[in-house]
Structure 1
Amino acid sequence: MKLNRRARAAVGLAAAAAATIAVTGCHTQGSDASDAKAGGTDKVTIMVGGLDKIIYLPAQLTQSLGYFKDQGVDVKLLTQPSGANAENALIAGQVEAVVGFYDHTQVMQAKGKCLESVVQFANVPGEAEMVAAQQADTIKSAADFKGKKAGVTSPGSSTDYLTQYFTAKAGVTTKDYTTVTAGAGQTFISAMQKGGIDAGMTTDPTITTLEQKKAGQVLFDMRTEAGTRKALGGLYPASSLYMSCDYVNQHKETVQKLANAFVKTLGYIHDHSAAEIAAKMPTDMKGGDDTLYTSAMNSSKGMFTTDGKMDGDGAANVLKVLSFANPDLKGKADSIDLSKTYTTQFVDKADSAS
């Protein structure tokens, strides 16, 4: 994918540095089987497109609740600053699975690779397009992005895809604005405060932090079903657990264990308050501010599914959105087989067993 005038200065460097962080240990898929046993326990490494992002909270929460261990799976969670980087780790064979956006499965099918979502955490993006406080009077819609600097987590990320969609719908091309790799979290906040970006797409707790600091305000809010339907014309299944189709077919028992654990976590999210959920998360993932994190969790908690199942109409809407603006899918929508981009067979069994 080509975007114009990419900014690769300090903002991008900071995000790239974060890409090497391993939260719970390193594991590389090599000659040993990816579901190798350690004392009878399956070993799986999952790359997360930002462990501190609330949209991907089920990954760490499942670990904290001990649900992976209960299923007999030794899961190592690694982190990358964006979903695109996490996807690259999967394609390179460095990990067995990714917690990232479902839309990557469609884009990669257009490129001849088969990825499959096996647990759908959310049917909305859980993101918002934020406008810097100093630009609030000049950026009122996507049409106002001309001549501006638009932040995304990284090129080829879901924030990049959606930014292209909003601007294209408004008649603005990628040549009309500068795409900036702004990363996430404090990197994104700093970029917005210091004028590195005029607007940008991000997630909670970054959204709530910017609002509380009065450093940015929401332009498009896709943390709720209503906001997502308004912005994208329908649901947009996003945060998910996805793997290569080959891995899913060859390791069904391990995949089922992961699905069992994640579906149980989704039930926990549904049945507990934001404060109770926040209390289970590691302190360093909450940015040292429990109150702010709980507030952000409360704003985003409703986006998670209760059963991990894909919304079929939502999957079709993702394809509609991507094929409108994404270069990899323009003119190829009819060639994409959605049935190969996700499966509910594992969550169906997990749900019936609960």
Structure 2
Amino acid sequence: MRKKSVLATGAAALAVTIALSGCANNVAGESQKVQKAGDASGKTVRVMVGGLNKQIYLPFMLAERLGYYKETGLNIEINDEPAGASAKTSLLAGQIDAVGGFYEHNQILQAKGKDTVAVVSMLRAAGEAEVCRSDLKGVIKGAADFKNRNLGITDQGSATDYMTQYITKHGGVDPSETHRIGVQAGGTFIAALDHKNIDCGMTTEPTISQVVSSGKGFLLYDGRTVAGTKDMFGGNYPTTSLYLMLDYVEKNKDTVQLLVNAYVKTLKWIQDHSAAEITEKLPEDYYKSIGKDAYVKALEESKDMFNPTGLMPEGGPEQVAKVLQANPEVGGKTIDVSKTYTDEFVKNAK
């Protein structure tokens, strides 16, 4: 289902269904049983998240840990897939009902004649950063130095792929003059840096803090906050969202509303609690590799990225459309951004 990584830096990560009971999420890729949250007689909704243990997708696990999935009365199956591009493919194939992934996929799919819609916006910042190997500090000073460089991304066709193409082109280098290599995140990303298979790469927390605190790399661009995102992309850049096929939304409005209720409630909980309190609710495996204190510190620094309302940030879709012009699948095509998201369900959330 998922494209194999271009770079073999470790065992291939498999798409697994995450156990959302009291046990911790295993982020090493071991098989786990399905957990269905909610009334067993309720409707089953299959949600796939493009990297469940990343801080940018924290609301999906937190909603379960807070009991908000159970409150919906639905059977909610949360599946983990390391790359958002693969989750998108699974949605189109009808293998899942919804994706926890970056909003921009809705615009890309529209360019391909596929109608999907984001129903809640969870991040108002990119939540991503470009980090480079420490031995290249002073050599790579910006995207203008990306020519002929190996650049790490989650996978081909992922959001990190499109973002990397944008900052590369914005820096005056044609993306075709770089080598974009799929290395996912976490251990495989760090191994790629260690073995000098990549020079720089786009990744998320907690990988960012692991790389920087260990001295393995340095920050080149930082989009973990709203201000940093505006510097990186020129404006508001909504990323994490819940999106579904338009046809599914139109036929299952009550189900979609229940899902959105849970996520809007989760976003409010995040705003009302500290990074330490949020971390306490998460499985230990989320912060085991970096350490609890370091995880809390990283979350404190990037907590601003979480959308307090769930509404689409003003001007965000239009800014995403500008960034995606660097993507050959979208470049030159007219995107009707108004059809790629709706605030209807967030406004009706209880």
TM-score past 0.5 threshold: yes
Q: Specify the alignment match of 1:10 in structure 2.
A: 8
In structure 2, the residue matched to 1:172 is: 173
Q: Distance in 2 between matches of 1:82 and 1:312?
A: 27
Deviation at 1:76, TM superposition (A): 1.3
User: What corresponds to 2:16 in structure 1?
Assistant: 21
1:319 is matched with which residue: 305, 318, 321?
321
Q: What corresponds to 1:159 in structure 2?
A: 160
Contact kept in structure 2, 1:44 and 1:96, CA below 8 Å: yes
2:341 maps to 342
Instruction: Give the Å deviation of 1:148.
Output: 1.2
Deviations, residues 100-119 of structure 1 (Å, cap 9, x unaligned): 00000000000000111001
Cα deviation digits, residues 75-102 of structure 1 (max 9, x gap): 1111111111111111111111110000
Aligned to 1:167, the other structure's residue is in SS state helix
CA RMSD of aligned residues (A): 1.8
Residues 236 and 315 of structure 1 are in contact (CA less than 8 Å); yes or no, is this contact kept in structure 2? yes
1:65 corresponding residue in structure 2: 66
Match of 2:109 in 1: 108
In structure 2, distance between residues paired with 1:7 and 1:198: 17
Amino acid aligned to 1:246: D
Say if 1:66 and 1:38 are closer, same or farther in 2 by CA, change over 3 A. Answer: closer
Letter paired with 2:17: A
What residue is the counterpart of 1:3 in the other structure? Answer: none
1:22 Cα deviation from its structure 2 partner: 2.0
Work out the CA distance in 2 between the residues paired with 1:39 and 1:175: 50
Corresponding residue for 1:290? 292
Deviations 1:227-260 (A, max 9, x none): 1111111011100111110111111111000110
Q: Give the corresponding residue for 1:86.
A: 87
The reply to whether residue 306 of structure 1 matches residue 323 of structure 2 is: no
Distance 1:283 1:39, change over 3 A: closer
C-alpha contact (below 8 Å) 1:51/1:285 kept by paired residues: no
Is 1:264 aligned to 2:265, yes or no?
A: yes
Contact 2:7 2:183 in 1 (8 A): no
Look up the equivalent residue of 2:93 and give its one-letter code. A
How far apart are 1:171 and its partner, in Å? 2.1
Q: Cα deviations across residues 296-347 of structure 1 (Å, max 9, x unaligned)?
A: 2112211111110002411111001112x110111113xx211110001100
Give 3-state SS (helix, strand or coil) of 1:86's partner.
helix
Secondary structure in 2 matching 1:204 = coil
Between Structure 1 and Structure 2, the one with more helix by share is 1
Instruction: Mark the CA change 1:230 to 1:53 in structure 2 (over 3 Å): closer, same or farther.
Output: same
Whichever residue aligns with residue 319 of structure 2, its letter is: N
Counterpart in the other structure of 1:31:
none
TM norm structure 1 = 0.90
How far, CA to CA, are the matches of 2:187 and 2:316 in structure 1? 31
Preserved contact between residue 132 and residue 201 of structure 2 (Cα < 8 Å): yes
CA contact (8 A) 1:7 1:178 kept: no
The answer to whether 1:128 aligns with 2:129 is yes
| 1:54–1:297 Cα contact (<8 Å) kept | yes
Aligned to 2:249: 248
Change (3 A) 1:190 1:70: same
Q: Is the 8 A contact 1:204 1:296 kept in 2?
A: yes
CA contact (8 A) 2:7 2:181 kept: no
Cα distance, 1:173 vs. partner? Answer: 1.6
- 5+ residue gaps, structure 2, are 20-31
**Aligned counterparts of 1:38 and 1:304: Cα–Cα separation in 2:** 29
Say if 2:187 is the partner of 1:186: yes
Q: Which amino acid aligns with 1:120?
A: S
- Residues 157-207 of structure 1: per-residue CA shift (max 9 Å, x gap): 110001101111122123322111111111111111221110000000111
Cα contact 1:267–1:307 (8 A) shared by 2: yes
The one-letter code sitting in structure 2 at the alignment partner of 1:63 is E
On the 8 A contact 1:62/1:265 being kept in 2, the answer is: yes
The separation in 2 between residues aligned to 1:287 and 1:149, in whole angstroms, is 29
Q: State the alpha-carbon separation in 2 of the partners of residues 273 and 193 from structure 1.
A: 33
Q: Distance in 2 between matches of 1:39 and 1:238?
A: 32
The alpha carbon displacement at 1:62 in A equals: 0.3
Classify the secondary structure of the residue corresponding to 2:230: helix
Shift of 1:26: 7.0
Residue equivalent to 2:53: 52
Cα gap change, 1:157/1:69 in structure 2, threshold over 3 Å: closer, same or farther? same
| Secondary structure of the corresponding residue to residue 318 of structure 1 | helix
Runs of 4+ in 1 over 6 A off after TM superposition: none
In structure 1, the partner of 2:25 is none
Please list the CA deviations of residues 272-298 of structure 1 after superposition, one character each: whole Å capped at 9, or x if unmatched: 010110011111122352112112211
What SS class does the counterpart of residue 41 from structure 1 fall into? coil
Task: Report what 1:200 is aligned to.
Answer: 201
Shift of 1:9: 3.4
